[in-house]
Amino acid sequence: MSIFTESIHTLQGAATSLSAFEGKTILAVNVASKCGLTPQYTGLEALQEKYAANGFTVVGFPCNQFGAQEPGSAEEIETFCSTTYGVTFPMMEKIDVNGDTRHPIYSALTSVADAEGHSGDIRWNFEKFLIAPSGAITRFSPMVGPDDETLVAAIEASLNA
């Protein structure tokens, strides 16, 4: 199985997979509504708006494994994201990104090391994985904001490859 064929549900409950975005540059982010990093939604939406027409999409994966900072139902998460941050990018069902119940998509993603050499478990909400159309994955720390020059340069390089 590839990262693109693992099944998952959208936040609305529809069955899908990342194959729906195959051929695009994807920024996969584990998100939470009650985290100090939650304002990153603003920057993620800005990336979506700026690059969507060029074959880019953010994909959010709500997760409640870090300080129980995503306790809401799918409906509550959707309402919060759309009304508070104007999120238009696809959101998947709430999943686990660490541990025995880690979603298979995150099993593949967490094998990749970031610039500091960290691989394995997700450290906190808003860890980012840039998935190029080729399938190459680049990992970014939760503290790397959506407007970080390194992340933006990697997105642009992927879109221009």
Q: Confirm whether 94 is domain-assigned.
A: yes
Contact 41, 32 (CB under 8 A): no
For 91-115, the DSSP string reads BB---B-SSTTB-HHHHHHTTS-BT
pLDDT confidence bin for 130, thresholds 50/70/90 = very high
The pLDDT tens digits for 1-42 are 588 999 999 999 999 999 999 899 999 999 999 999 999 999
Any domain includes 87: yes
From residue 22, how far is each of 19, 52, 110 by CA, in Å? Answer: 5, 14, 19
CB 153 within 8 A of CB 115: no
In a domain, 74, yes or no: yes
Domain CATH for 79: 3.40.30.10
How high is the pLDDT of residue 146?
Answer: 98
pLDDT band at 56 (very low <50, low <70, confident <90, very high): very high
Is 1 inside a domain boundary?
no
* pLDDT tens digits, one per residue of 58-101: 999 999 999 999 999 999 999 999 999 999 999 999 999 999 99
In a domain, residue 2? The reply is no
pLDDT at residue 156 is higher than 60: yes
Active-site residue list? 35
Is 153 inside a domain boundary? yes
Domain ranges, residue 75: 7-159
User: Is the pLDDT assigned to residue 112 strictly greater than 90?
Assistant: yes
pLDDT at 161: 82
> How many Cβ atoms sit within 10 Å of the Cβ of residue 28?
24
Full-model pTM? 0.96
| Phi, psi values for residue 130, rounded to 5° | -90, 120
Domains of the chain: total: 1
Contacts of 83 (CB under 8 A, 6+ apart): none
Residue 91 included in any domain: yes
Yes or no: say if 126 and 29 are a contact pair by the CB < 8 Å rule: yes
Characterize 100-138 residue by residue with b for buried, 16 or more Cβ atoms within 10 angstroms of its Cβ, and e for exposed: eebbebbebbbebebeeeeeeebebbbbbbbbbeeeebb
Whether 20 contacts 105, CB under 8 Å: no
